[in-house]
Amino acid sequence: MVGAVSFHDAHPGVADLRREVLDGLSARPRAIPPKFFYDERGSALFDRICDLPEYYQTRTEMAILHRALPELVDLIGSESLLVELGSGASKKVRLLLEELRPNGYVGVDISKEFLLSSTQALARDYPWLEVHAACVDFSAGLEIPHCDVPLHKVAFYPGSSIGNFDPDDAVRLLADVGSMVGQGGHLLIGVDLKKPVGLLHAAYNDAAGITAEFNLNLLRRIRTELDTDLDPGSFEHYAFYNPLQGRIEMHLISRIRQEVRIEDGIFAFEPGEGIHTENSYKYTVAEFAGLAARAQFRQQAVWQDDGALFSVQLLQYMS
Ligand code: AVJ
């Protein structure tokens, strides 16, 4: 029932992929932004990562949310518009919808297929809810339709995807969210915490090799969508924790000396030379309070698991 969900499309097209890949491979260090992981296969691989035994994040966040719900509902109140950033195939938002019972829901995601199927399923399962879908790359600004209504706005940004942004960019994104929710509005955000390096290393180097497949899928996507002789098999997944920056880094490292042609660019790689594909910043609760404060948000409540692996934070915009 496509008609039940209003749909706004600003999906980055193949032209964006071409431009960002060519720019990213021409720069030093070479880098391609992680938002391009999420084509249909990449989104499905990410869902499998979320179920991995080593990847503590998803199930921990779900359990924290569960425990926080009664308090959350008290703090947020009803008569709200819930805007979920990076909605993908989220089960977490269902928990919120059922307890919070907002007037409206806007799902925002860069992956069109996942966004459409997940919002359609929500519209089907919650007939009382007004559901909107906005296919938007919100790292490029938060122009989200349907938000111009006199309701208390609650942005929901689960999964610690904020960790993909360098701190200054994270502050900019939070500030954009602040302008969207307005004075007194809320941001409910999942933030992965600093922890012993062994746990982090395992989470990004899983035994089943799904994270490696997810990283390498970026090269498969380039091969499918662009004109290239790139061989994904000539690169390998490499992920490590960088304690100086407080972040996991993922790279794709060339196994061999090679020249790769992409469209009309030629890119030379020595063995061991790579492409930086993702950062995933980890914060202490206090560090994240500082980051939020730079964007005029105050940490109103913080919930975490007993092992202090992950946090769910309620921030309020105080402009
Ligand atoms: C979706 C950005 C939160 O950083 O843990 C998972 C993506 N990358 N495994 C993360 C990811 C490798 C994930 N985020």
- Rounded CA-CA distance 161/289 in Å is 17
pLDDT digits (tens, 9 = 90+) for 3-53: 357 666 666 689 999 999 999 999 999 999 998 998 889 989 999 999 999
Q: Give the ligand 1 atom nearest the CA of 86.
A: 1
pLDDT band at residue 114 under the 50/70/90 scheme = confident
pLDDT score recorded for residue 122:
94
Distance (Å) from CA 163 to ligand 1 centroid = 8
| Test site for ligand 1: of 213, 278, 279, most ligand atoms within 8 A of the Cβ | 278
Report field, pTM of the whole predicted structure over 0.85: yes
Tokens linked to 57: 């994040």
- Rounded CA-CA distance 64/275 in Å is 35
DSSP state string for 209-258: -HHHHHHHHHHHHHHHHS-B---GGGEEEEEEEETTTTEEEEEEEESS-E
Q: Give the ligand 1 atom nearest the CA of 278.
A: 8
Nearest CA residue ID for atom 1, ligand 1: 161
